[in-house]
Amino acid sequence: MTNPRFCFKLVTVMTNTTTPATITEIDLFPNVVGQYPAKRKFGFYIKAFERTGVVPNIMLTAPKGAGKTMLARAFARNLVLPDTMQPKRYIELNCATIKNLRQFVEAIMIPHMQNNDATFLFDECHCLPKDVTTALLTITNPNKHNFNTFSYEGSDIDIDFRKLTFLFATTEPQEVFHALIDRMERIDLDDYSYDELGQILLLNADKIKFSGDIVSRYIAPALRGNGRAAQKMATNIKSYVAANNTKTFKLSDWKDLCYILDIMPHGLNKIELRYLRTLHREGTVRLYNLAAKLQMTRSAIQSDAEIYLQKLNFIEVSTHGRQLSYDAKQMFEKHPELLEKTNDRS
């Protein structure tokens, strides 16, 4: 039997000199950029935990790169046990590696949930097998004493919610069993704003100087609202600066880096660009015709291309088909070179 990949995190909490009455989200999440509504909710649960020792089951939903895991880890750091003044042990579970209920019980529940103080993150929980999801409906449903018992093959496993905290995270909440979501306090994260992406970039770019408004005006819009993309871009910029022996990253440097790495306006990928070129060339196109022209399935077009293009307000979808929006036409007028590339079939 293959065990799932675990990520154990025992996080040391730094001494906080702020008096409890004035603790803010900034104090609780000092290195987490943005996501203020989520941090307020987590702050509320942290303060309640200090009084009751109990945290509700929480479901984090967010686009990729919105900081689910980072926020979960920061939350877990604040669940400090009064007797040790240390946080609970923090365990991340990659749900894609959990194959069945037997594996879940033997590799996770018995060794890590019984008689342990721990916070669990079920990451990408939409990947959980059906039998594990069904079991979790029982496990995450405590009685009025914050206690539960799960029976498996004649044995009882005690679940003490005064000791255990369950966090779930997903990029696809529509794929999670609704009854499981109903047992959670749901916290939805948003894409990062351009300003927030700029903050993440600067935090990861060490001491590199950026000229003018290059970060907010040019770099951040190419990051697709994705914090992980901002971290990766910071790494690319550090490599570029080191290779070119410069201390200030200028607009000309950004244009050069875009050419080297094939970075397109708004962070468009080649599938999305082919999609837009097709509409630019042919006007209104029905989905099945688009699928034939792009040699993709209709479901792939809807999941791999249209979600981000709709977010940018670049396409209009109607019963007659798909067509370019005014914003997309303006983008092509501003960047005519996007229509001149000949390195793909469109």
Residue 321 belongs to domain with CATH number? 1.10.10.10
**Nearest-5° Cα angle at 108, 153 to 102:** 35
Higher pLDDT, 100 or 112: 100
pLDDT digits (tens, 9 = 90+) for 312-333: 999 999 888 999 999 999 999 9
pLDDT digits (tens, 9 = 90+) for 139-180: 888 778 778 888 878 777 778 878 888 999 998 898 888 998
Helix (H, G, I), strand (E, B) or coil at 306: helix
Helix (H, G, I), strand (E, B) or coil at 151: strand
Q: Are 237 and 204 members of one domain?
A: yes
Using the predicted structure, report yes or no on whether residue 88 has a pLDDT greater than 90: no
Last residue of a domain, one of 216, 234, 263: 263
Q: Are 27 and 169 members of one domain?
A: yes
Q: Are 133 and 220 members of one domain?
A: no
Q: Which domain holds residue 216?
A: 194-263
Q: Does residue 210 lie within any of the structural domains?
A: yes
Using the predicted structure, report yes or no on whether residue 10 has a pLDDT greater than 60: no
CB 324 within 8 A of CB 314: yes
Mean per-residue pLDDT of the chain = 85
Q: Does residue 184 lie within any of the structural domains?
A: yes
pTM: 0.78
Residue 215 has a pLDDT of: 95
Q: Are 111 and 24 members of one domain?
A: yes
Distance (Å, whole) CA 99 – CA 112: 18
Distance (Å, whole) CA 230 – CA 234: 6
Distance (Å, whole) CA 262 – CA 256: 10
Domain count, the chain: 3
Q: Are 23 and 111 members of one domain?
A: yes
Report, as an integer, the average pLDDT of 263-277. Answer: 93
Distance (Å, whole) CA 59 – CA 82: 25
Q: Are 245 and 274 members of one domain?
A: no
Domain at 103, CATH number: 3.40.50.300
Q: Does residue 220 lie within any of the structural domains?
A: yes
pLDDT digits (tens, 9 = 90+) for 220-260: 999 999 999 999 999 999 999 999 998 899 999 999 999 99
Q: Are 287 and 303 members of one domain?
A: yes
Q: Which of 21-30, 45-54, 110-119, 151-160 has the highest mean pLDDT?
A: 45-54
Q: Are 126 and 164 members of one domain?
A: yes
Helix (H, G, I), strand (E, B) or coil at 152: strand
Going from the C-alpha of 29 to that of each of 7, 75, 144, 148, 213, the distances in angstroms are 21, 8, 31, 31, 27
Residue 85 has a pLDDT of: 87
Q: Does residue 345 lie within any of the structural domains?
A: no
Q: Does residue 330 lie within any of the structural domains?
A: yes
Last residue of a domain, one of 126, 158, 188: 188
Using the predicted structure, report yes or no on whether residue 6 has a pLDDT greater than 60: no
Residue 341 has a pLDDT of: 56
Q: Are 95 and 180 members of one domain?
A: yes
Using the predicted structure, report yes or no on whether residue 195 has a pLDDT greater than 90: yes
Write out the E strands in 182-269: 185-188, 209-210, 248-249
Residue 140 has a pLDDT of: 85
Last residue of a domain, one of 188, 221, 244: 188
Q: Are 17 and 140 members of one domain?
A: yes
Residue 25 has a pLDDT of: 53
Percent of the chain with pLDDT over 90: 48
Residue 346 has a pLDDT of: 44
C-alpha torsion sign, points 254, 240, 199, 67: positive
Residue 26 has a pLDDT of: 52
Using the predicted structure, report yes or no on whether residue 2 has a pLDDT greater than 80: no
Report, as an integer, the average pLDDT of 341-346. Answer: 46
Residue 82 has a pLDDT of: 85
Using the predicted structure, report yes or no on whether residue 17 has a pLDDT greater than 80: no
Domain at 228, CATH number: 1.10.8
Q: pLDDT band at residue 46, thresholds of 50, 70 and 90?
A: very high
Q: Does residue 346 lie within any of the structural domains?
A: no
Q: Are 50 and 177 members of one domain?
A: yes
Q: Are 167 and 71 members of one domain?
A: yes
Q: 116-120, 236-240, 336-340, 341-345: which has the minimum mean pLDDT? A: 341-345
Using the predicted structure, report yes or no on whether residue 8 has a pLDDT greater than 70: no
Residue 345 has a pLDDT of: 42
pLDDT digits (tens, 9 = 90+) for 277-306: 999 999 999 999 999 999 999 989 988 889
Residue 122 has a pLDDT of: 92
Q: Does residue 166 lie within any of the structural domains?
A: yes
Q: Does residue 275 lie within any of the structural domains?
A: yes
Instruction: Supply the DSSP symbol for 284.
Output: S
Residues 6+ apart with CB under 8 A from 115: 158, 163
pLDDT digits (tens, 9 = 90+) for 55-73: 899 999 988 888 888 899 9
